[in-house]
Amino acid sequence: MAAETLLPSAAPVRFVAEDGRRADRNGGYGEPAGDRLKEAYRLMVLGRRFDVQATALTKQGRLAVYPSSAGQEACQVVAALALEERDWLFPTYRDSVALVARGLKPGEVLTLLRGDAHCGYNPVETRVAPQCTPLATQTLHAAGLAHAMQRRGEDAVALALIGDGATSEGDFHEALNFAAVFKAPVVFFVQNNRFAISVPFEKQSAAEALAYKGVGYGMRSEQVDGNDAVAVLAVLDDAVKHAREGRGPVLVEAHTYRIDAHTNADDATRYRDAEEVAKWREADPLKRLETYLKSRESLTSEEIERFAADAEVFAQSVRDTLNAEPELDPLSLFDHVYAAPTRQLEAQRATLEAELEA
């Protein structure tokens, strides 16, 4: 395959400018249908309210930690919308909104961040892997599972969500190389939010854009304005289609920004100034999509109000779920360590059970 066919667009693909007006930089991609864009808007409203509520719950001691994805709603929601039910999503700890958009219940999503269990949902039933905290390990899982589905003849794709910091990890490069060699049906979706905790992008990589990292592995690559939901959906739709048709993996980089701190335990004012954050607030993905859809008469004021009201009801359900004390079984610690428990594990389980009964 000629290297020219692998290169990303010279500038990030964009359909909608910061002010909500049409931008002429679509990279040859077709615009998604209006009903899908309206659904993206609805889920972005829901996702932002969820994110605000989860952040508040950390201050109330109901969550141990919460990594906000405020400002990244377009990436989060579209990652879920671009997939079919049969496809797999591989999220990181910052991708709770993507899981909500995928249809998981808030109590299931926040179990990890509450500290109750490593995962609060059934990955096989939901086709969502456990949220990954170690950087880039989910890329290997996605590549391996995609290859396995390919060998079984399944018509399914895996999409791995990645932060910019994870692209500096060896696992990321091993996953890209493996996926490209075996043409695994996987999409690597990098949300470049400009900071790996406190390390700015320019101190992480000398590459002009992270999308170029895929070219060296013989992988088709693209970059997109991550705050333009229309562009992100157009690019991810095409990437998923490319992978599903057996033409190999795709690396997509979304240029976005993390509005809030790394987590509630982080003080972002120590490494970035308020003017930078204010500038990116002007590129708000939610307001941008709302303005665009209203200008095209694809979204009414009544729908905006209804979606906001529905989000408030959802936020109440989140509060109700997290304010209830969890019912935990200590013996469940041993349930998913091995497919078939070892004798040592059985002995440890028996010891704990005896202690609990004493």
Q: Which residues carry out catalysis?
A: 258, 262, 271
Two structure tokens written together for 333: 């610690």
Alpha helices in 67-130 (DSSP H): 73-81, 96-102, 106-109, 111-114, 123-126
CA atoms of 279 and 28, how far apart (whole Å): 28
In angstroms, what CA-CA distances link 8 with 154, 237, 253? 28, 16, 9
Element (H, E) at 44: helix 34-59
CA atoms of 298 and 42, how far apart (whole Å): 12
CA atoms of 109 and 98, how far apart (whole Å): 10
Helix axes 73-81, 229-244, angle to 10 degrees: 30
CA atoms of 334 and 47, how far apart (whole Å): 33
In angstroms, what CA-CA distances link 277 with 160, 258, 272? 27, 9, 8
Give the strand pairing for 195-196 and 186-192.
unpaired
In angstroms, what CA-CA distances link 88 with 45, 79, 102, 155? 24, 11, 10, 11
Element (H, E) at 191: strand 186-192
**Selection from 111, 147, 118, 121 nearest residue 134 by Cα:** 118
CB atoms within 10 A of CB 328: 10
Element (H, E) at 161: strand 158-163
Phi, psi dihedrals of residue 4, rounded to the nearest 5°: -60, -30
Do 140 and 147 contact (CB within 8 A), yes or no? no
